[in-house]
A and B are shown apart, each in its own frame.
Chain A
Amino acid sequence: MSMFKRTSMVHISRPTWFTYTALAIVMLASLFPFYWSFLIGSGDATTVRDPNMSWIPGGNFIENAMTVIQNPAVNFWKALWNSIIVSTTVSISTVVLSTLAGFAFAKLRFKGNRGLFVAVIATMAVPVQLGIVPLYILMAEFGWTGSLGAVILPALVTAFGVFWMTQYLQQSLPTELIEAARVDGCNMIRTFWHVGVPAARPAAAMLFLFTFVTAWNNFLWPLIVLDQSNPTLPVALSMLQANYFVDYSLVLAGVLLATVPLLILFIFTGRQLVAGIMAGAVKG
């Protein structure tokens, strides 16, 4: 449990005006680029070149956004939908498969348990992204280039996910509960379902968010294996620049449109994301 409850034991010092000022500046700096994009995206083609541009947004944002959405070369709705499909599928699958494996590694006795877990950790150090040439050849061989399956399949489960769930279940799931379920006549999968899954829920939610953000932002592999007619959002954004490099009010309106879905998700789940990052850090 300790890994997820660390924050309550701090009473180090009282904040001063300096603390709040510094944090406010940091906050402004992290939001400023988006506000600036909105200024450009709500103006017209000349706004970006105007050194004395107004700090109050113009009135063209919706118009610019519509132009981007309606441009067939950008394929905005398709890209948005594809990003949702890919990120959701990958996150659900990663959470389910990682929780299963984590349950086995953390709580079940079997030959090779420790050795195989070390193998999982070792794979985390392997930069698998560097295998993209054969991966591409493989996908071409299967005829999957251009389809979402090519993006989804390699990301179905990650070593990080397995490691994360194992760590969590080791600490938060009492072995007696499993034994009790077994004595009650539960087979393995029911034990997992009735004992493992409820215990894993907080860590599973965090893993879901991390995986979702990572999948949503992923660029290199989708750029390689997907094409313009069936892109994810980052791929569509890269097309946006190629299509409109003269009119940055359109480019940045599109950038904001593509950013909004995750910002909305963040408003509702940011709290868990923060907790997840801080929990993972202490364990390393």
Chain B
Amino acid sequence: MASTDLDTSKAYSPWRQRMGMWDRKASPYLYIAPFFIVFAIFGLFPIIYTAVISLMDWDTIRNSGEYIGFANFDYVLNDRKFWVSLRNTFSIFLLSSIPQLIIATFIAAMLDHHLKARTFWRMGVLVPYVVMPVAVALIFSQLYADEYGLVNHWLGMVGIDPIAWHKEVIPSHVAIASMVNFRWIGYNALIMLAAMQAIPRELYEAAALDGASKARRFFSVTLPQIRPTFIFVIITSTIGGLQIFDEPRMFDTAGNGGADQQWLTITMYMYNTGWGELNFGRASAIAWLLFLIIIVFGLLNFWLTRRFVSSDQSGSK
């Protein structure tokens, strides 16, 4: 594999040796340095500085701030919009993650066969993943149009009255969650599929010998075996899901989350406060609150994961 130009002179002059030593010692740090530099400047510093700005009344014209203590947090925590956006974010998150997991598992089970044109089917379910969320949102917001939308038209054909997708709280969450699901179901199905294929074949054979039906094998072998992957998917979708912005932002032309904040999410609330009202102090306070919520949720997830995974191991013995 190493090509021919490697046989450089092997004269062991002290100078060469010292260079070699230095090369061996310093190179690894040099190779990992770019990541840590980029993370320090564009990741760590902003997160910490967000905490500083959240305690300030920031002047966007002079680009400097004045310390005002916890006034921003006080304002945000007493703002109805914050609590509404918190409710909406969690509601959309639940409406997207639960059906998503169920449908993705079902699709994975379908893909987990000796299929003809295997790659075709796998690529087919992944198409929505490569499409911009902004584009998906523009399409879906028209499918869900209140008066003339196709969804309402179809509902009408089965005798259901039109639903005010852009006016009522829960319907708007359902519509937005469906965009998220549209994008991620195929992706998560492939993750589940990989986990299913890693299940030892003997487990199925043993179950089949014991007379377990196909459905029974799915519930008693497949599901318990892919549980760790299940939890992995939940955790990764939590971090992204709680920061949802693109889909609700593009759900109507105004981008303010509805006339009565029906689908305002936390990140939208932060964006509107920061770049709509130009109140960077308050936007930072919102960012930190969301940051804390995600951390708490992450820890909760972590704790649940450990419980689930360990109970899984003890259960299988």
Contact = CB atoms under 8 A, between A and B. Distances in A.
Interface string B176-208: 000000100011001111110110010010000
B39 interface: yes
Given A138-B46, A162-B35, A259 B1 contact: no
Top 7 A-B pairs ranked by shortest CB distance?
Answer: A131-B46, A154-B42, A188-B27, A278-B194, A281-B191, A134-B49, A110-B28
Given A194-B6, A195-B1, A259-B131, A27 B124 contact: yes
A219 B245 contact: yes
Contacts of B145: 48
Given A129-B243, A194-B2, A217-B132, 17 more contacts: A9-B197, A11-B114, A13-B214, A15-B113, A15-B116, A26-B107, A26-B124, A100-B32, A128-B43, A131-B43, A153-B42, A188-B23, A190-B6, A213-B130, A223-B271, A259-B131, A277-B194
A187 B5 CA distance: 12
Contact of B204 (A12, A14, A194): A12
Interface in B20-73: 20, 23-25, 27-29, 31-32, 34-36, 38-39, 42-47, 49-50, 53, 63
Interface in A103-145: 103-105, 108-110, 113, 116, 120, 123, 125-138, 140-141
Contacts of A109: 28
A216 interface: yes
Given A26-B125, A49-B148, A154-B42, A263 B142 contact: no
Given A33-B136, A140-B63, A274 B35 contact: no
B280 A137 contact: yes
B93 interface: no
Q: Max chain A CB contacts within 10 Å: which of B35, B153, B190, B194?
A: B35
Contacts of A237: 132, 134-135, 138
Q: Max chain A CB contacts within 10 Å: which of B106, B214, B291?
A: B291
A131 B287 contact: yes
Contacts of B128: 30
A255 B46 contact: no
A55 to B, nearest CB: 11
A194 B35 contact: no
Interface stretch (A56-64, A67-75, A178-186): A178-186
Contacts of B7: 184-185
Interface string A203-234: 00000000001001101100110000000011
A271 B31 contact: no
A1 interface: no
A281 B111 CA distance: 16
Nearest to B288: A130
Given A97-B35, A156-B38, A241-B250, A128 B27 contact: no
B283 to A, nearest CB: 5
Interface residues of B, number: 106
A103 B34 CA distance: 13
B299 to A, nearest CB: 10
B187 A277 contact: yes
Contacts of A22: 106-107, 110
22 contacts: A10-B197, A23-B121, A30-B182, A30-B186, A36-B150, A48-B148, A98-B35, A130-B47, A153-B42, A159-B35, A162-B35, A186-B2, A188-B28, A217-B130, A220-B246, A237-B132, A237-B135, A255-B135, A259-B131, A262-B131, A270-B123, A277-B191
Given A132-B287, A194-B1, A265-B130, A100 B34 contact: yes
A277 B114 contact: no
A277 B195 CA distance: 11
Contact of A105 (B6, B32, B106, B115): B32
Interface of A: 6-7, 9-15, 19-20, 22-23, 26-27, 30-31, 33-34, 36-37, 40, 48-51, 97-98, 100-101, 103-105, 108-110, 113, 116, 120, 123, 125-138, 140-141, 153-154, 156-157, 159, 162, 177, 180-181, 184-190, 192, 194-195, 198, 213, 216-217, 219-220, 223-224, 233-234, 237-238, 240-242, 245, 248, 251-252, 255, 258-259, 262-263, 265-266, 270-271, 273-274, 277-282, 284
Q: Max chain A CB contacts within 10 Å: which of B125, B130, B288?
A: B130
Contacts of A129: 243
B53 to A, nearest CB: 6
A108 B28 contact: yes
B75 interface: no
A197 B255 CA distance: 45
Contacts of B139: 33-34, 36-37, 252, 255
B114 A130 contact: no
Nearest to B291: A130
A134 B194 CA distance: 40
Contacts of B44: 123, 126
Contacts of B195: 281-282
Contact of A220 (B34, B191, B267): B267
Contact of B43 (A20, A33, A126, A262): A126
